[in-house]
Structure formats: C-alpha cells, structure tokens
Amino acid sequence: MKPPQLADQLLKFFCSPHRLEEIQGDLHEEYAWQVKRIGERRARWRYWWDVLGFVIQFAVRRKSSNDSNTSLTNPMMIRNYVKIAWRNLLRYRLNSTLTITGLALGLACGLLIILHVREELSYDKGFTKADLIFRITTENIGEKSRIWAATSPLIGVEMKQQIPAIQTLARFHRPYPDRVFSYAPSGGELRQFEEKRGFYADSTVVEVFDLAFVKGDSRTALKQVDGIVLTEATAKKYFGDDEPLGKVIQDDLDKRPLTVTGVISNFSFPTHLQFDYLISMSTYYGIADKGSLENRGWSGFYNYVLLNRNASLPEVEARVPAFMVKFYELAGENRKDILTARKTHLQPITAIHLHSKLEKEMGPNSDILYVYVFGVAALFILLVASVNFINMATAQAFNRLKEVGVRKVLGARKEQLVKQFLGESFLLTLTAAVLALLLFRLAIPFYNALTAKNLQFGQLFNPANVVGMLLLAGLISLVAGLYPAWFISSFEPVTSLKGRKSSVSSVTLVRKGLIVFQFAVSVFMIFSTIVVYRQMQFFQNKKLGFDQEQVVAVKLYGQEMHEKVSTIQNEWLKNSAITEVALISVLPGDRFSTDMLTPLGKADDASQMRFMWADEHMLPVLKIGLKTGRNFGRKTEGAHFPYILNEAAVKALKLQSPIGQKMVSLGDTGEIVGVVNDFHFASLHNAVEPLVIVQHPGQANYFLLKIKGDQWPETVQFAQSTLARLSPKSLFSYTFLDEKLARLYDSEQRVGHVLTVFAVFAIFISCLGLFGLSAYAAQLRIKEVGIRKVLGATVSGVVLLLSRDFLRLVIIAALLASPLAWWAMSRWLEGFAYAIEMEWWMLVLTAGLAVSVAVLTISFQSIKAALMNPVKSLKSE
C-alpha cells in the first residue's frame, strides 16, 4: 500500500533534497507498519499528521541538536501535542466552552465593527483619481458663519479659467422639487414614480467620477439636450427587461420628454454621490432663468474640480484669495469686504462623508466621532475577550501542575513548554475563530438592520481582509496565550509534582487586575448606553414649540395640483376627520433656505435669516403660539407679502416694537404683522435660528393635513382617492410629520442601539470569565467550605465568603471607570445645542447593574459549593 502522494509532494516542496530520501524512507517504513497495525484508512491519516509535523518544524525552523537521529520524533511529538490539547479541551469541558464562547463572541463583534469602520473610512476612495478631486465650498464669515457645500454656478467655471492647475470641472445641480417621472409602454400600464435622488450633471462627471456605462456612449450620453442617464436599478424599474436606450421618460412636473441615452452600474464602493438618474446640464441651461445661472451669490451647484497630477494643492490654495477678489468684485463687492467676509475652500472628496456637515449637503453624512466610538468599542470587546482567555487559561494551569512537573523531570525545556501551550492557545483561538465566522454570518442581517448598513459576508474574504483576520487571530492567540504559557512553564518541578494549588501566587494580582479591566470596560459601555438612551428620550419628549402629532404632509406636485389648490383643500375639508389644511414651503426638519431681511431704509441693519413661505392656516395646524401681533389674513391679489418673525429674528434685528415695521426681502417690501414664540423648526443639534414666515402660498410645496383622533388610515385613503379624482395625473406622496422629525436623530439612535448590543456582549463575555473563575475558586476552597460547614457555617455565610473577593473587584472597576465615562460622555453631549444634564444616579445605576450581573454570575457556583455535602467535600482529592 502506497502512502498519500499529495503528502509526499508537500514534503518534497518543503524539505531539502539531502534530507528528503532519509525522511521519506523512515515515514514509508512507519506507514507500512501502521497499515498492518491499525488499517490503511487510519494509517493514511497518521501519515498526514507526520508529514504536517515536518512541515511545521521546517516552517518555524525548530531544530534540535540530535535532529539527524530523530526523524520521527518531532512530527510524532507535534501529533502528541495536538492530542494532549484536544484531550484537555474535552477533559475541562466547562473551562473550554467558556473560553471558546467568550473569544468567539469577541471576535464576531470585532469583525462586525471592523468591517463597519473600514467601510466608513473607505468612502469615495474607490475613484481612481480620488486624491485629485476636490469640492469647492464657500464660507460666509460674520456673526453667524456658514459654510456651503453648494456654490455658485459660475465659481467653478471661472476658477478653472484662472487657475491652470485645475484640469477638469464637474458640476451637479439638484432639481427642485423632487421629480415625478412616468413611462407609458405601448399597450401597457403607466409606470409613474417619485424620484428623490437625481441631478443635472455636466458631461465631465463621466471622466472625473469613473462612471461605468453598461449601455450607451459615455462620450455623448450627457451632452445631448433632454438626455437622461439611469442606473441599472432605475432602468429596470421603468423598462423591465426591455432595451432602455432611446426610450422616452416623461418629466411630469416640467412636462418635458427625456430620452434615455445611457445606463450605468452603481458604484462598487461607498460614496457620498448617491443618485438614481442624471440629466444633461444642457437640458437645465435650456429651461433655467438666466439671472440665476449668472448669480455669483446663489448656492445652487455642487462644483468639483480635478487637479492635474503634478499640481501642488498648497499652490492652488494660495491662488484662491486672489481669485475670490476677482470673482466677487464683478458682483459689486469691494476687495476689503470680500477678504474679511468670504472664504473659498477646496475640500478633498475623501473628507466629505466623515468630516462635512455643511449647509446644503448632497445628503446626510456620517461623523468621524462615531468611527472612533465604534473603533474603541471593537478594541474594548477584543481586549475583554482576550483578558477572559488569559484568566481562564491561568486558572486552568493549576489543574496541570503535575503534567508540567512530569514533563520537566523528563527533560522538557521551558521554551518547549511555552511553544506547546502557545500551540494550545492557537488551537483554541482557531476553534473560536471558526465559530466567530459562523456567528458573524448569522449576525450580519441583524447588524445591517441595526446600523442601516449593507455589509456582506463575502466582504470578509478579499485578500486584505483574509490576511487581516489571520493576523488578528495570531495576535490574539499570542497576546492571550503568551502570559499563561510563560506562567505554566515557570512552575518548579517539585511544587508541580506535589500538586499544590495555592490561592496566593504571583498570578493572583494579574488575574485580579484583568477582572477589574474587564468590568471597567463593561461599566464604561453601560454608562455610555444609558447617557445615549437618555439623550434620545430627551429629543423625543422635548417640546418643540409646535404640534407635530396627527399631521400629514402631502407633496404638492406639478402645475395641475397648484392650479387646483383651493378645490383640493375644500374637498379634503369635507371629511370631518380633517380639521384643517394648510400650505407650507418646507417642512420642519428640512433645510430652510436663507436670505437677507432688511429694515426699510436701514441697509446696515440687514441680517441673514431662514425663510419659510406659508398661508394663513399654517399656524393653526401646527399650533404655533403668537407672542404678539396677529396671524396672516386672507391675502388679496397684488398686495405686498406680510411677515411673521420668530423671537430669535426680532432679537437679531434688534427691533423694540416689531409690529407694523416695514421690511425688505427678495425685492419686495412687506410689513411685520406678528411675532411667534421660538419653535424648533430644525434638529435639536442646533439652537433656534432667526426665522421669517412669509405669506406666499404660491411658493408652497406641501399640504399639511391635521387629522382628528386615530382615524388616519381611512383619512389618508380618502385624501388619496380625492386627489386622484381631482388631479388624476398627480402623484400622491405623503409623510407623517412626527416620523419625519424622529428621523433627524437616526444616526444617534443607531449608535445607541449598537452600543447597547455591544455593552451586553462585553458584560456577557466578562461574566463568562467570572463564572469560570468562580467555579475554579469554589473548587480550590472546597475543603475549606466543608470544614466551615462542619463547624456550623450557614449557606449564606459561605456564599458571601466565596463571592466577596470578586464583588470587591467589580466595585473597584466601577469606581475606576466612572470618571472616564463621565468625561467621555460630557464631551459627546457638547455636540448638541440641547442636551441632558448627567446626574449622579446614572453612575449609581451603572454600578448597580454591573454588581447585580456579577452577583448573579458568581452566585450559581457559590451556592452550589455551599450546598455540597461536607463529607464529599472533605473526601475530595
């Protein structure tokens, strides 16, 4: 019978030629003997073990002085080490299970967070020219500085002309309001959809952002007037499996046909550029007002520039101030005001997702703070799992005193013992890693739902991640196993053979310190979770100054709906469940536009403010309280637009008696008729800003319906059917105002949920170790417990005796972690204009939870030991 040829090939690959013949001869002879003794199948497995032993020996270059005479000893020794490791796993099942489970949970949590963080850090880095792409942003410097992500349509054009280092300009402009597209296939049903993610775009975006065309000509697709490029998913939605090129989609708002000139695939990497369609910029230039396109102060375009490969960013930035002077002087501003009140920045595209929360962003971005939070959480959990490993290994070491003593007496050197136990550590880590991958696979759907991510199991298995995982497993194995291995191998043979298990040893202090560290991490995460939860509760319960409950916002789409506004309102009001219908330009929680409001004849007192357009029903629907003055009346045709200001606006304008004062804005002069109490029309991340409410229903983009009681399902259905009857070509799109406002805090809510989950895992892993250590401590003192019970000790007294040392460590951990947790969460709360006050009871609650969990963990083993029959305790070896 021949041994496995593949094993021989493996040996030939690793072994030097002068040793190969000798080793193969010995192995083949051993194999023939094993076939007779245990059968061919088992002999083949043993042959593989022997070959792998030689491979490992060669890889780590572990050669002994009598290498030439022990050709079979090393692989057999390695095989024996594996056997011993496996038998110890089975012998100490509880210890092994707790160790592997804790490490697997830690690794699974770590993998989830690391993949999450890596995706956050990779935003926009997939563009081939990412290091050369910059977004132009502008900053207005004054009493209330604002930095704008969107800038003038002209700023990029003229910057490219004046700064030679700029190779290409690429611009986007968002259609307003959101589009409604429809497609009517011949003989088929009309397909009509609301499209919220799309832009007008220069043809140069294809080159700058590496758009991958699946269909169509990338050179001309965005040059054609009335041309539209769709993503694959959008094309599928409108055309199914039909050929999309040349098909015509109708823009129902502008009554404009758009011809599909290309289909592109979605970006294969995360990016802040999120869109479902792109319309050629030439289309927009054909319909836009010329004045807005030449307006140097209008923040309407997203301007991206691509620098030359040999360009120096500092040199480009040094030329920007001179460019700004030329650019804004053409708008009538003087040089001094330009240099003191305006700045233009070149923002790296890779910094947008994590470092940018500017005015008029393309979409919501994340925050680098949360990357740090998740990164620290991953580190903490991996450390807790590794500490758990160390504690369990050192506890188990006392059970192997005699084994180590025998090995040392038989000549085992310390380095050999260290390698053996490090090997066992690696075996445990490898087992935990396999289990972690399974847990990771099972947890991904839940984690994606929790974080609004789209992580995939396959993302783990690219070369960089595989190498990273192997390094992580190796590092954890080394860090977690080195101290136990060194500690075990340091036992004196005489002490080992006597089998002494002293509770007082050099390792006790280290073990106690590690327990303190574990629970300090747990206390930190529990306290952070409590603070985040309280802040979210504060956001949800804080009075915003208006009534958001039972208010439905319906989008006002297209000319037909605008022409029938009054008819639609009157028809809706015939339903007794609808108490009021108002018109409003922008919903609370959305970005309000800004403009200047100037007291008539006092140009120097002008102030930049947020603007909202509404009718006379808006204040009653939202129940916004008037501080002074009156509400809007019914507006007559041709009259000037009246204003209602909030308190912050009155304060900004320094008006002593605002009612009746004439104000100028947007080329019109109007009168202040009322002042409302400040209300939170934006996120609670920011303080209430000055707001001007203008009575101009023609600028409205939403109906607001106030619905009575709990009749909203049938009422919404009534509103939809009524609109379909009165304006059959219009799309019914609605949202509940309270739900919309709740979404403002999605990122904080997600962070809170994730912290809660990982805090639970951190304390669970810590408790796994505490459970194992308490079992070991109870076993160590089993005779002492028996003697105490014989002498009259009560069960509660024994439980307290076995528990108090561990509880003392948990309390110390809570005391050490509390100041750091308080400081960290204080810094986090500084990011909110309205934040909770942290109180002493939060720390007490945190410590109480940690101690309670520890008590429950320890009590099981303590009570079990206390209830044991003293006769059995005293008889135990």
Tell me the average pLDDT across 383-409: 73
> What pLDDT score was predicted for residue 643?
92
Q: Is the pLDDT at 66 greater than 50, yes or no?
A: no
Q: Is the pLDDT at 75 greater than 70, yes or no?
A: no
Q: Is the pLDDT at 384 greater than 70, yes or no?
A: yes
Tell me the average pLDDT across 522-547: 86
Q: Is the pLDDT at 69 greater than 50, yes or no?
A: no
Tell me the average pLDDT across 355-364: 88
Tell me the average pLDDT across 687-695: 91
Residues 6+ apart with CB under 8 A from 686: 833
pLDDT digits (tens, 9 = 90+) for 608-618: 889 999 999 99
> What pLDDT score was predicted for residue 70?
40
Measured distance CA(302)–CA(150) in Å, rounded: 5
Q: Say whether pTM exceeds 0.75.
A: yes
Greatest mean pLDDT among 201-210, 437-446, 668-677, 703-712 lies in: 201-210
> What pLDDT score was predicted for residue 872?
62
* DSSP code at position 269: S
Instruction: Determine which of 259-273, 424-438, 464-478 has the lowest per-residue pLDDT on average.
Output: 464-478
pLDDT band of residue 819 (cuts 50, 70, 90) is very high
The helix/strand/coil state of 434 is helix
Q: Is the dihedral of CA 93, 81, 780, 394 positive or negative?
A: negative
Dihedrals φ, ψ of 138, to 5°? -125, 150
Tell me the average pLDDT across 327-349: 86
Dihedrals φ, ψ of 305, to 5°? -120, 145
> What pLDDT score was predicted for residue 750?
82
Q: Is the pLDDT at 153 greater than 80, yes or no?
A: yes
Instruction: Determine which of 202-211, 510-519, 546-555, 645-654 has the lowest per-residue pLDDT on average.
Output: 510-519
Instruction: Determine which of 318-322, 402-406, 472-476, 833-837 has the lowest per-residue pLDDT on average.
Output: 402-406
pLDDT band of residue 504 (cuts 50, 70, 90) is very low
Greatest mean pLDDT among 16-20, 521-525, 700-704 lies in: 700-704
pLDDT digits (tens, 9 = 90+) for 668-679: 888 899 999 999
Dihedrals φ, ψ of 607, to 5°? -140, 145
HSE-CB at 118 with a 13 A cutoff on CA atoms is 16
> What pLDDT score was predicted for residue 584?
93
Tell me the average pLDDT across 834-840: 87
> How confident is the prediction for the chain on average, in pLDDT?
82
pLDDT band of residue 398 (cuts 50, 70, 90) is low
Tell me the average pLDDT across 231-242: 92
Q: What is the percentage of the chain residues whose pLDDT exceeds 70?
A: 84
Q: Which helix (H) or strand (E) holds 29?
A: helix 17-38
More confident residue, 679 or 869: 679
Q: Is the dihedral of CA 202, 208, 210, 216 positive or negative?
A: positive
pLDDT band of residue 61 (cuts 50, 70, 90) is very low
Measured distance CA(814)–CA(809) in Å, rounded: 9
Q: Is the dihedral of CA 233, 239, 245, 248 positive or negative?
A: negative
> What pLDDT score was predicted for residue 73?
44
> What pLDDT score was predicted for residue 275?
94
Tell me the average pLDDT across 740-757: 83
Tell me the average pLDDT across 93-118: 84
pLDDT band of residue 100 (cuts 50, 70, 90) is confident
pLDDT band of residue 602 (cuts 50, 70, 90) is confident
pLDDT band of residue 38 (cuts 50, 70, 90) is confident
Instruction: Determine which of 31-45, 238-252, 688-702, 840-854 has the lowest per-residue pLDDT on average.
Output: 31-45
Q: Is the pLDDT at 439 greater than 60, yes or no?
A: yes
Residues 6+ apart with CB under 8 A from 346: 134, 135, 136, 137, 305, 313, 316, 317, 320
